[in-house]
Amino acid sequence: MNIIACVKQVFDLQQVRIKKETREPIMENIPLTIGDIDKNALEEGVRLIEQHGGKVTVVSAGSEDLEETIKEGLAMGADEAVLVIDSSLDSAESAVSAVVLAKTVKKIGEFDLILLGEGSSDNYSGQVGPRMAEILDLPLVSFVKSLKVDGHRIQAVRSLDDCMEVVEVDMPAIVMVMSEINEARIPAVTQILKAGRKPKQVLSLDEIEVDPAEMETKVETLSNLAPEQDRKQVIFKEDADTAAADLFNALQSEGFIGR
């Protein structure tokens, strides 16, 4: 069984700070890492291989820093990595990323399953998986919280707004997982050391035959400021007899509760 896990290099959001005066994120000296839900996708691939045999190939596209970041994925259990590195991919939008990843998958050749996170940690557009499915003409299963493989079919439990849905689909297929599907492992020191010796292939955009027209950006980011918080700073006295009434009156005066 050959599994491809697509991951994205993002800033470690736990270390991002916000300027109080301008509400702009402070991005200087923030380390890069693999997105959290992408780690869940990779973890699920590794678990399936541990059950059924085969290999996991971790695939990613980004800037030169990606070669160092991808070691985390190899340490988590991926058998090899295939990277597409180009400065133009540092902040590529979803449509561009989908094209690059799909053409990288075609370059790799045969596979049974492609795993992705339901959305990236930085913008969570959720568009890369569906776009890849369209380009590669593959069935797509999204919002997956549980996954089983039975022969050449997969059975997935989808977590929807109002219900759980169980679907079955033949492989090859693309699956987008949710964070609750598993808890991604933390590599041991020995696994981190071994990661540097695992196979890694670095490709250019020309080698995967990307047309320059496919790299055109169609979405412009106008702002990434933190949302404003307008606190009323209403303080309620710690009096059990009046607290509920005070809260009700405050909400009513602000128009949240009708008179």
Nearest CA to 96 out of 105, 107, 88, 106 is that of: 88
- The DSSP bridge partners found for residue 136 are none
Nearest CA to 75 out of 155, 191, 169 is that of: 191
Distance (Å, whole) CA 100 – CA 93: 11
Domains contained in the chain, CATH given: 2-215 (3.40.50.620), 229-259 (no CATH)
The strand pair at 32-34 and 9-11 is best described as: antiparallel
Each residue's pLDDT tens digit in the chain (259 positions)?
A: 999 999 998 877 676 777 776 666 666 677 788 889 999 999 999 999 999 999 999 999 988 889 889 999 999 999 999 999 988 887 788 889 999 999 999 999 889 999 999 987 777 788 899 999 999 999 999 999 999 999 899 999 999 888 899 999 999 999 999 999 999 999 999 999 999 899 999 999 999 988 887 878 777 777 766 666 677 777 777 766 777 788 888 888 877 776 6
CB 190 within 8 A of CB 179: no
According to DSSP, residue 186 is labeled P
